[in-house]
């Protein structure tokens, strides 16, 4: 067993951390978030130049050939900075779907465009009735000549606003809750019949509800086999959960450390807050929650890297634990900052909101605990 990071991973961590520390002070971050795009295209281009956009793709596809552990290292640092660029949507979700399930032509067309920064993308999977069930899909793709017509509506599509391509989960047969009969399509975001409603998310990112009315796709746009898309959806979700978990671990670290720093400096009743036993214990618990979440995040990521049979179950445990830890750490960071914790001026509020959103994505604590114990 070897739990040490490789030299490359340490270098990656250092370079992402350096970037985040120099470019992602909270005031600048919030200004970016409020801008029309909601993130920086310049930064995105820098990510391309630094090779971060090529991280998970195989060398055969022109990538760096990183593993999920490398993505974890990067996402944890992104979490420390509440990075806004659509890395999760484009590289982790869309990108890994193409690299895992794309054919030669799809990989050759799409992956280089992701890696050089010219293509941003989204994965449109959730629907109003699906709650957290990824297989619960009503959006239909009906055969039409040599292609398909897509009809339906996807919700809270992350990064929908800037995506050039959408990966859409559809139903080609069966009823809404079947695991079979699901087929994925790569759809041009500008295709006719697509109507998007863009909105900010509470954590300062962007999402969209996307309505598909007779949107035509060709057979060449299909990702993977007809009716067997659920396995791909699940794989994307797993990669997304691992990335979100790493991001949450980074965000929790900032929160518990900021809370320690604040309580050392804030005085009430002639003492620093950090001297009150109940607060010491609370911060110790925040630290424990973070440490355990980080451990399980590492374990699940390593299992995924190895393709272990235990991966799926561990990912359920992970998403449960991340949700629970995030809530505890987030709520107590606000609480221990008192009124200051309620202000948008301190960064605590923004990390709190990001963690709250992470629990709502790809299944919340209840959803995953139920599957873990099943």
Partner 1 sequence: MDIEFSTADLAFQQDVQAFIKANLPRGMDMWTKRSEWFQALRDKGGWDVAKWPVAFGGPGFTPTQRYIFDLEMSRNSTPPQIPFGVTMLAPILMNYGTREQQERFLPGIRDGSVNWCQGYSEPGAGSDLANLQTKAVLAADGSHYVVNGQKIWTTLAHIAHWMFCLVRTDNTGIKQEGITFLLIPMNDPGIEIKPIITLGGSHSVNEVYITDVKVPVADRIGEEGKGWTYAKGLLVHERTGLAGIQNSVLALSKARNNALQVKVGDGTLLDVPAFRNKLGALEAELLALEFTELRSLASVSAGSDPGPESSIMKLKGTEIQQRISELNLEAAGVYAAAWGEQVGPGFARAATSAYLGTRATTIFGGASEVQKDVIAKNVLGLG
Report the interface residues with ligand FAD, using CB under 6 A: 266, 268-269, 273, 276, 278-279, 335-336, 338-339, 342
155 binds, among partner 1, ligand FAD, none (CB under 5 to 8 A by kind): partner 1
Contact indicator for 88, 96 with CB cutoff of 8 Å: no
Residue 342 DSSP class: G
* Residue whose CB is less far from partner 1, 257 or 360: 360
Site track for partner 1 across 258-287, x = CB under 8 A: ---------xxxx-----x-xx--------
Cα distance from N-terminal residue to C-terminal residue, the chain: 29
Rounded least distance, CB 336 to partner 1, Å: 8
Rounded least distance, CB 370 to partner 1, Å: 6
Place of tokens 């962007």: 206
Site track for partner 1 across 318-357, x = CB under 8 A: ---------x---x--xx--xx-xxxxx---x--xx--xx
Phi, psi at 19, each rounded to 5°:
-60, -50
Rounded least distance, CB 68 to partner 1, Å: 24
Site track for partner 1 across 10-49, x = CB under 8 A: ----------------------------------------
Which helix (H) or strand (E) element contains residue 271? strand 271-272
Q: Nearest-CA neighbor of 111 among 158, 161, 165, 157? A: 165
**CA dist., res. 77 & res. 47, Å (int):** 13
Q: Nearest-CA neighbor of 201 among 320, 68, 76, 355? A: 355
Rounded least distance, CB 313 to partner 1, Å: 18
**CA dist., res. 247 & res. 21, Å (int):** 15
Looking at 177, 180, 213, 284, which residue binds partner 1 (CB under 8 A)? 177
126 binds, among partner 1, ligand FAD, none (CB under 5 to 8 A by kind): partner 1
Residue 81 DSSP SS3: helix
**CA dist., res. 144 & res. 273, Å (int):** 67
Place of tokens 């959730």: 126
247 binds partner 1 (CB under 8 A): no
Site track for partner 1 across 111-150, x = CB under 8 A: ---------------x-xx-xxx--x--------------
Which helix (H) or strand (E) element contains residue 299? helix 277-306
Interface of this chain with partner 1, residues 354 to 373, rule: CB under 8 A: 356-357, 359-361, 364, 366, 369-370
276: left (phi over 0), alpha (psi -120 to 50) or beta: beta
218: left (phi over 0), alpha (psi -120 to 50) or beta: beta
* Residue whose CB is less far from partner 1, 319 or 353: 353
Residues that bind partner 1 in the complex, under the rule CB under 8 A: 126, 128-129, 131-133, 136, 155-156, 177, 197-203, 205, 207, 209, 267-270, 276, 278-279, 327, 331, 334-335, 338-339, 341-345, 349, 352-353, 356-357, 359-361, 364, 366, 369-370
């Amino acid at each position: 067993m070897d739990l040490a990071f490789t030299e490359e991973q340490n270098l990656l961590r250092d370079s992402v951390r350096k970037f985040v520390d120099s470019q992602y002070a909270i005031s600048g971050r919030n200004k970016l978030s409020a801008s029309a795009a909601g993130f920086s295209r310049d930064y995105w281009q820098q990510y391309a130049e630094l090779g971060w956009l090529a991280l998970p793709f195989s060398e055969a596809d022109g990538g760096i050939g990183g593993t999920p552990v490398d993505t974890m290292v990067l996402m944890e640092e992104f979490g420390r900075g509440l990075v806004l660029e659509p890395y999760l949507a484009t590289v982790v979700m869309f990108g890994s779907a193409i690299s895992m399930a794309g054919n030669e032509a799809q990989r050759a067309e799409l992956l280089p465009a992701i890696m050089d920064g010219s293509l941003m993308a989204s994965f449109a999977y959730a629907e109003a009735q699906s709650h957290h069930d990824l297989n619960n899909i009503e959006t239909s793709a009906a055969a039409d000549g040599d292609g398909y017509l897509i009809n339906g509506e996807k919700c809270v599509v992350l990064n929908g606003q800037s995506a050039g391509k959408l990966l859409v989960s559809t139903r080609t047969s069966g009823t809404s809750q079947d695991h079979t009969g699901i087929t994925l399509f790569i759809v041009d975001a500008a295709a006719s019949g697509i109507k998007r409603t863009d909105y900010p998310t509470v954590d300062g990112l962007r999402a969209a509800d996307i309505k598909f009315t007779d949107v035509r796709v060709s057979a060449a746009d299909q990702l993977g086999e007809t009716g067997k898309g659920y396995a791909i959806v699940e794989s994307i979700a797993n990669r997304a959960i691992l990335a979100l978990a790493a991001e949450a671990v980074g965000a929790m670290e900032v929160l518990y450390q900021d809370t320690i720093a604040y309580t050392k400096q804030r005085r009430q009743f002639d003492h620093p807050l950090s001297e009150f036993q109940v607060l010491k214990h609370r911060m110790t618990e925040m630290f424990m929650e973070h440490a355990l979440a980080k451990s399980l995040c590492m374990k699940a990521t390593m299992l995924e890297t190895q393709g272990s049979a235990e991966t799926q179950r561990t990912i359920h445990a992970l998403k449960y634990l991340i949700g629970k830890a995030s809530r505890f750490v987030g709520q107590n960071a606000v609480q221990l900052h008192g009124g200051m914790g309620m202000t948008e001026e301190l960064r605590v509020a923004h990390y709190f909101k990001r963690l709250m959103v992470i629990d709502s994505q790809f299944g919340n604590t209840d959803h995953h605990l139920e599957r873990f114990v099943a």
